[in-house]
Amino acid sequence: MDTPNIIEFVTDPQLLGLSISPAQETLLRGIYGLPLDAYQMDLWVGCTGRQTYSGQPFGEATVLSGARGGKDSRIAAPIVVYEACFGGHEAHLARGERAVIPLVAQDSRATRVAFGYISDYFTGSALLAQLVEDVLATEIKLSNRLNVLCFPCTYQSTRGFSIPVGVEDEPAFYRLEGSANSDAEIQASIRRGMVGFPAPKLVKISTPYLRGGIVYDDFQRAFGQDDPDLLVWRASTLLMNPSLTPERLERERRLDPSRFAREYEAEFAEDVEAFLPGAWVDQAVMA
Q: How far apart are CA 82 and CA 10, in angstroms?
A: 8
Alpha-carbon dihedral sign for residues 235, 237, 243, 245: negative
> What amino acid is encoded at 89 in this protein?
H
Domains and CATH numbers, the chain: 6-284 (3.40.50.300)
Most confident of 108-122, 146-160, 177-191: 108-122
* pTM of the predicted model as reported, rounded to 2 decimal places: 0.89
Beta strand residue intervals within the chain, DSSP E: 60-65, 99-105, 132-135, 139-142, 146-152, 165-169, 201-206, 230-235
| Mean per-residue pLDDT, 170-175 | 83
Give the per-residue pLDDT at 155.
54
Q: How far apart are CA 148 and CA 164, in angstroms?
A: 11
Q: How far apart are CA 62 and CA 77, in angstroms?
A: 15
Measured in whole angstroms, the distance separating CA 192 from the mean position of its chain's CA atoms is 18
Predicted confidence (pLDDT) at residue 232 exceeds the cutoff of 90: yes
Question: pLDDT class for 210, splitting at 50, 70, 90?
Answer: confident
Predicted confidence (pLDDT) at residue 179 exceeds the cutoff of 70: no
Beta bridge partner(s), residue 232: 62
Predicted confidence (pLDDT) at residue 159 exceeds the cutoff of 90: no
